[in-house]
Amino acid sequence: MKLTKIAQLIGAQNTDLQDLEINWLLTDSRSLSFPAESLFYAIHTARNNGHNYVSELYQQNLRYFVVSEMLPEFEKMTDAVFLKVDDTLKALQVLTAKHRESFQIPVIGITGSNGKTVVKEWLYQLLHTDFNITRSPRSYNSQIGVPLSVWALNENTQLGIFEAGISEPHEMQRLQPIIQPTIGIFTNLGEAHQENFTGLKQKCEEKLQLFTNSDILIYCSDNKLVEISIAQSDFKGKLFSWGKSEKAKMRILKVEKNPNCTKINLKFEGAEMQFCIPFTDEASVENALQCVAVLLHLGYKIEEISKRILLLEAVAMRLEVKEGVRDCLIINDSYNSDLNSLSIVLDFLNQQATAKNLSKTLILSDILQSGQTPSELYKTVADLLKTKNIQRIIGIGTEISNQADVFQLIEKDFFLTTEDFLKSAFVRDFQKEIILLKGSRKYHFEDISEKLELITHETILEVNLNALVENLNYFSSKLRPETKIMCMVKAFAYGSGSVEVARTLQHHHTDYLAVAVADEGAELRREGIRIPIVVMNPEKGSFGMIFDNKLEPEIYSFRLLDLFITSAEKLGLIDYPIHIKIDSGMHRLGFEPHEIEQLLSRLKGQNQVKVRSIFSHLSGSDEMQFDAFTRQQMNTFTVCADQFSATFSHYIMRHILNSAGIERFPEFQLDMVRLGIGHYGISSLPETKLKQVCALKTVILQIKNVKTGETVGYSRKGIIKSDKRIAVIPIGYADGFDRKLGNGVGEVLINGQRAKVVGNVCMDLVMIDVTDIEANEGDIVEIFGDNLTISEVASWLKTIPYEILTSVSRRVKRVYFQE
């Protein structure tokens, strides 16, 4: 779209414009790919301001900006174009709504509490051979994600499929004109994102606003609240209900679950039909039925639907980072391949590669049904790889191989098929590279992933980086925009892996990190972490490491202060930043209130160190019974901090709140807060909105039938009182599975059912009772995670969640993923 037209549509206050084409809309400064064709929207969020990144983008040759304020530094950018509006987010939404109006094509809009992304991807799998489809990349369903998704509509699009999610009232009113669905799908209604609604009914009514002008709405009539809400709404289009009710347009007659598939009998327009889906879980059955309803509405014959449904493949909902052979890292995004999603995942690749200083390699298949000519398409891909500084591309497929010449100044190799690549010597050549697998399903890149991944222990700790960020945002929402956040990544980031966690936090503009010892901070520096890092327990022998890595020590005693000043003086350092710890009542480390006057005198008499912050630690902020003492600690700390402010003219930050304190005492947030266990989904509040970040999982190695009277495990502790099926799983106390969980104390989760531990816990193995569970060798076992919480495991052991998390051994492989 021409820049002049964009300015007109969004009502921008700028008339002196170049008549150039804008192809890319940008809201994240880190995602810049094509500066000459991009327009940046400087959007205000709760804790960030896009205007602060305009100068950075200008340095990267971007010249076109939509802003709501003109900062002084903008005046120096004489060749930049600023489109001034009142609300940049609204301007983005208005523009993309106008863009949508120019397409007279069927558009499927999907909303609901769960299943949106799976239904969208399955519809793509079912329909992509018949339509040129533009769809939301990944889970782009927010106030920003929806406009960016719809902007991808182009003259070659024959069908649009977009998902919409909301977290508070009135949001759907802004998304509806952007998507303007002709076909609506309401997946289901649940508790997700419930916190800002008065109840499920209000949330349902808000979601239904997406379908105000839709021609037809597809929904499950078994949910009576959804059906009632639709009946009471202003919806004027046709209804396509499905479910068990006799009144349903598509009626479910029978659902029969087999080991590897589910057989479903339906009745539609008087005719009975039967088909199978290659899944057995309830969610997949529900999602598949939504898709069947869409295909029936579009006029597909049941024979064709049955054939296509049977070929449905699981949707990879996340990007996983796994260790590969010969010091490589593997990012597997091999469930689709299109230009939009390629640009997004290359940003993730760069985030990982920069910190680890790895060479960047892309293995890319043919991009199917882009609507562009091959020469146009792969020229764009080549330009994108150049912008993202990708060093090597391996192309697989006929079209990309034919366009090999457009990839200039990059190491390149091409193969017609995945099999050809796997037979080549290149598979053995990878070394110290980060390798992104990006391929269409038909190319079976999972075979490449299997070849390149490092074979390891089958017990893994999954770390959900999206959940980590959501938890960070949750705590941020309780703070003033100017309040800083220090994130604790000590003790291997509470067992989750300090480097990956720190990298994610840095990417999301965390102000400070904190580690326990200097070694941890030095490791983060080696891995490319550049934000300030506080060392909570500095030791004399680590001062050199602290100085070399620009770490900032906590100072809690006169002895430590004197030693550190002396070391700084020997190196000729001036105003080295330190953080003063006050003991306000916990009686652990810290200067006591009566020592403050002496401390101030000592600090004033030197210039080697400079106090960056003063802080204290609450000892009972998570328990209501200690609230009076918490306030007493706050008062004590305030008196001490005021003495510092009266003594020094420079700004000294104050902080006292930990995770529980942020939730329960936000009025004490001061200049900064320290976020620790809350990152990982552990809350002191009974009804937490936090997400579980870590999930410890393993698999069933073997299942045995054990007769009455026999015993299981060491010391014959597992006495079998009736015939049992006993499963063996490869985890033990050497992995962090506590011995005290043995003999029926602990439980694990298999296929949604709990299994008790039988006998003693071994060093590397645990035996569990699966007598009444549909379990098979190779099935996944959850030790803790979304369904069996860390807090519950801690309660069995009469300990705290911190201990459970930090006890997971380093020999357990950490697998990081983004959804």
pLDDT digits (tens, 9 = 90+) for 374-393: 999 999 999 999 988 999 99
The per-residue DSSP string of 281-325 comes to SHHHHHHHHHHHHHHHHTT--HHHHHHHHTT------SEEEEEBG
Query: Is 125 part of a structural domain of the chain?
Result: yes
Is residue 791 within 8 A of residue 801, CB to CB? The reply is: yes
More confident: 18 or 574 = 574
Question: Which one is catalytic: 207, 438, 490, 724?
Answer: 490
Confidence band, pLDDT 50/70/90 cuts, at residue 317: low
Q: What is the pLDDT of residues 721-766, one digit of tens each?
A: 999 999 999 999 999 999 999 999 999 999 989 999 999 999 999 9
Q: What local confidence, expressed as pLDDT, does residue 360 receive?
A: 93
Q: How confident is the model at residue 336 (pLDDT cuts 50, 70, 90)?
A: low
Question: Considering 2, 307, 570, 714, which one is annotated as catalytic?
Answer: 714
Tell me the residue range of the domain where 665 lies. Answer: 462-680
3-class secondary structure, 405: helix
Q: Cα(114)–Cα(192) distance, rounded to whole angstroms?
A: 8
- The residue with greater pLDDT, 51 or 281, is 51
Quick check: 462 pLDDT over 80? yes
Whether 313 and 291 have beta carbons less than 8 Å apart is answered as no
Question: If you write DSSP's letter for every residue of 364-386 in order, what string do you get?
Answer: EEPPPS-SS-HHHHHHHHHHHHH
Collapsing DSSP to helix, strand or coil, 588 comes out as: coil
pTM, whole model, 2 decimals? 0.73
Q: What are phi and psi of 344, to 5 degrees?
A: -65, -45
d(CA 692, CA 116) in angstroms, rounded, equals 21
pLDDT at 455: 61
499 shares its domain with 639: yes
pLDDT digits (tens, 9 = 90+) for 532-581: 999 999 999 999 999 999 999 999 999 999 999 999 999 999 999 999 99
Based on the fold, state whether residues 336 and 284 are members of the same structural domain.
no
Residue linked to tokens 């969208």? 120
Q: How many CB atoms lie within 10 A of CB 188?
A: 19
The rounded distance, in Å, linking the Cα atoms of 765 and 217 is 52
Q: Are residues 512 and 364 in the same domain?
A: no
* % of the chain with per-residue pLDDT over 90: 71
Domains of the chain: total: 5
pLDDT tens per residue across span 248-282: 999 999 999 887 789 999 999 989 999 999 988 88
Q: What is the DSSP string of 156-220?
A: T-SEEEEE---SSTTHHHHHHHHH--SEEEE----STT-TTSSSHHHHHHHHHGGGTT-SEEEEE
Same domain, residue pair 504 and 631:
yes
Please tell me whether residues 641 and 534 are part of one structural domain. yes
Least confident of 233-242, 361-370, 706-715, 779-788: 361-370
Asked if residue 410 and residue 469 are part of one domain, the reply reads no
Q: What is the DSSP letter of 328?
A: -
Answer whether residue 98 is part of any domain: no
Q: Tokens 């391949």 map to which residue?
A: 337
Confidence label for 208 from pLDDT (cuts 50, 70 and 90): very high
Claim to verify: residue 448 and residue 468 sit in the same structural domain? no
Q: Are residues 382 and 439 in the same domain?
A: yes
Picking from 49, 71, 91, the residue at the C-terminal end of a domain is 91
Beta-carbon contacts of residue 163 (< 8 Å; ≥ 6 apart)? 109, 110, 111, 116, 117, 120, 136, 139, 140, 141
| Other beta carbons less than 10 A from residue 256's beta carbon | 11
Per-residue confidence band for 338, with pLDDT thresholds at 50, 70 and 90: confident
Secondary element (H or E) of residue 818: strand 813-818
The CATH number linked to 780 is 2.40.37.10
On average, the pLDDT of the chain sits at 91
C-alpha span between 610 and 604 (Å, rounded): 9
- What pLDDT does residue 183 have? 98
Domain boundary among 248, 281, 309: 309
Q: Considering the domain boundaries, does residue 314 fall inside one?
A: no
Indicate whether 361 pLDDT > 80. yes
For 635, residues 6+ apart whose C-beta sits below 8 A from its C-beta are none
Torsion angle defined by CA atoms of residues 386, 389, 390 and 391, in that order, rounded to the nearest 10 degrees: 100
**Is-contact 630 662, C-beta < 8 A?**
no
> Residue 476 half-sphere exposure, CB side, CA atoms within 13 Å?
21
Give CA–CA dist 683/793, Å, rounded.
15
Residue 509 lies in a domain: yes
Who wins on pLDDT, 319 or 307?
A: 307
Say if residue 337's pLDDT is above 70.
no
Q: Residue 684: what pLDDT?
A: 83
Distance CA 226, CA 235 (A): 13
Exposed, middle or buried, 482 (CB in 10 Å: 0-12/13-18/19+)? exposed
> CA 326, CA 454: separation in Å to the nearest integer?
8
Q: Which two tokens stand for residue 739?
A: 């011995």
Asked if 335 is an active-site residue, the reply is no
State how far the Cα of 68 lies from the Cα of 525, in Å rounded to an integer: 37
Answer whether residue 451 shows pLDDT above 90. Answer: no
Distance between CA atoms of residues 615 and 475, nearest Å: 19
Query: Does residue 686 form part of some domain?
Result: no
pLDDT of residue 33: 87
Residue 40 lies in a domain: yes
Find the range with the poorest average confidence among 9-23, 100-114, 599-613: 9-23
Which residue from 577, 638, 659, 586 is spatially nearest to 617, judged by alpha carbons?
A: 586
* 432 belongs to the catalytic site: no
Residues 595 and 631 in one domain: yes
Q: State how beta strands 64-67 and 107-111 pair.
A: unpaired
Question: Any idea what the CATH number is for the domain that residue 227 is in?
Answer: 3.40.1190.10
CATH number of the domain residue 24 falls in: 3.40.1390.10
- Average pLDDT (686-698) is 88
Domain check: are 305 and 332 in the same one? no
Residue with the bigger pLDDT between 132 and 192: it is 132
Q: Which tens digits make up the pLDDT trace of 406-439?
A: 999 899 999 999 999 998 877 778 888 999 999 8
Distances (CA, A) of 554 to 599, 647, 789: 14, 20, 33
From the number of C-beta atoms within 10 Å of its C-beta (0-12, 13-18, 19+), residue 448 rates as buried
573 burial class (0-12, 13-18, 19+ CB within 10 angstroms)? middle
Express each pLDDT in 76-135 by its tens digit. 999 999 999 999 999 999 999 999 999 999 999 999 988 999 999 999 999 999 999 999
67, 91, 115 - which closes a domain = 91
pLDDT tens figures, 151-166: 999 999 999 999 999 9
The answer to whether position 293 is within a domain reads: yes
More confident residue, 193 or 765: 765
pLDDT of residue 355: 59
Please check whether residue 685 lies inside any domain of the structure: no
pLDDT of residue 452: 86
Same domain for 214 and 121?
A: yes
* DSSP bridge partners of 533: 513
Same domain, 700 and 813: yes
CA distance 233 to 311: 37
Return the minimum-mean-pLDDT range out of 585-589, 684-688, 723-727: 684-688
